[in-house]
Amino acid sequence: MDDHTVSFGAALRHHRRQQGLSLRQLAGLVAYSPGWLSKIENGMSTPTMQLARLCDRELAAEGVLAALAGSAADDLPPRLRPAQLPPSTTGFIGRERELRNLDALLAHSTETGLPLTVAIDGPAGVGKSALMIRWAGQVSGSFPGGVLYRDLRGSSPDAEPVRPTEALADFLIALRVCPPAVPADLEQRAAMFRSLLAGLRMLVILDNAADSRQVAPLLPGTAGCAAVVTSRRRLTGIAVRAGASKIPLGPMSPAESVALLCAVVGPDRVLAEADAAGKLARHCAHLPLALRIAAERLAARPHRSLALLAEELDDEKSRLDLLADADDPHLALRSAFFGSYRDLDPEAARAFRLLGLHPDGRLEAAVAAGLIGRPLGHTRRLLESLVSVHLLEETGPDRYRLATLLRAYAAERAGDEEARVGADDPGPTAR
């Protein structure tokens, strides 16, 4: 141990006793363990800058402890601040309205001094993460405290959602809390996280959230900080409890879809087959993920015409096969859709499969009740559960639409289920 560590520990003990606090009482105030504080007081462990700031505040030490620790967190060199934002999508296209909305929300938060929480929700493959990362990259300079990012794996096809305790541990370590000092309890971790962010301007990115319960402990909730959440679920919980602003994200416009094809395939080639490009975009339902997969197929085969690929996509039964990437199974619409389908309860999953058998996907609640074989009131509740996770679109009172690609996926799942049931059924027993 060095003189610096010893002097901090002695000063911490002095100010703690001056306030008449035990180690356990101080530990409760700063959300650190009593054992860890004891090691620091005895010069056996080095204090973090965040702990020094917290103790300064709780012990009314007037900056003495922060000075002994070296410097306040705000004065750390930029290289020591968390900068976890993933790289932005190359050739990002469109979404100007949503970007302006995000800018306006940030400006209002800055003017009013209120914390900002934004929830971006939409169906699989619509580009929620790309939009969030694009905007965060543009405004990261407004957050000198840094940027924290976590993929919460809420709709990942082959992984369980991240537990809030796990995400908080990652954030605390990124904020230079020593792993042994990370509390075991969820509430204590959340309290420490919020305490460390107090007085900082930090951007927290929570990507691919499962639900509001997963997100709530991870929100900073202090002035100067902002949190942006993406999810396939409508996060009503954090809108009610944390006042989150909601930005629903739908498919791209036809013009944006063609612009995306131009960015990947090349404008000369796309504009030379403008009609085929428009047809291709429609077959992709104007979903950025589907469009990028189709565009990369064309870019990899420069002599292949857009018209030929559009013609191949005419067949709804093989469309999902073509909108897949053999190099990365996760870059496939089936994989993306499965992440949403997997979390449905059995009855909602059955309703989704049966809706896929409707000839054009546009139907009223009464028609859906006939397909599903349930009373109208019960059917409405099932339809609402599908709407809430963006597997179904509500177009008017008692009117719904199952998007083309989702309808193909639902019909495919219905066929798989029928085959599974048939395999389980031994048939009539010979007498």
User: Is there a common fold for 3-75 and 80-248?
Assistant: no
Mean pLDDT by 10 residues, the chain (431 residues): 59 89 92 88 81 88 74 46 86 92 94 92 96 94 93 89 96 86 89 86 96 96 91 94 94 95 94 96 96 94 94 90 78 89 94 94 95 96 96 96 95 80 46 34
Q: Where do the domains of the chain lie?
A: 3-75, 80-248, 254-331, 344-422
Q: What is the pLDDT of residue 61?
A: 83
The helix (H) or strand (E) run that includes residue 153 is none
**Answer CATH for 3-75 from 3.30.70.270, 2.40.40.20, 3.40.50.1000, 1.10.260.40:** 1.10.260.40
Q: How far is the C-alpha of 52 from the C-alpha of 37, rounded, in Å?
A: 11
**Answer CATH for 344-422 from 3.40.1030.10, 3.30.420.40, 2.60.320.10, 1.10.10.10:** 1.10.10.10
Structure tokens belonging to residue 342: 């997997």
CATH class assigned to 80-248: alpha beta
Q: How far is the C-alpha of 116 from the C-alpha of 251, rounded, in Å?
A: 25
Q: Tell me the C-alpha to C-alpha distance, in Å, between residue 389 and each of 231, 356, 403.
A: 9, 16, 13
Q: What is the pLDDT of residue 420?
A: 64
Question: pTM of the prediction?
Answer: 0.80
The helix (H) or strand (E) run that includes residue 351 is helix 346-355
Question: Are 154 and 161 within 8 A, CB to CB?
Answer: yes
Order of strands, sheet of 399-401, starting from the edge strand that comes earlier in the sequence: 362-364, 399-401, 393-396
Q: What is the pLDDT of residue 76?
A: 44
**Residue with token string 């339902």:** 285
Q: What is the pLDDT of residue 175?
A: 87
Query: For the chain, what's the residue count?
Result: 431
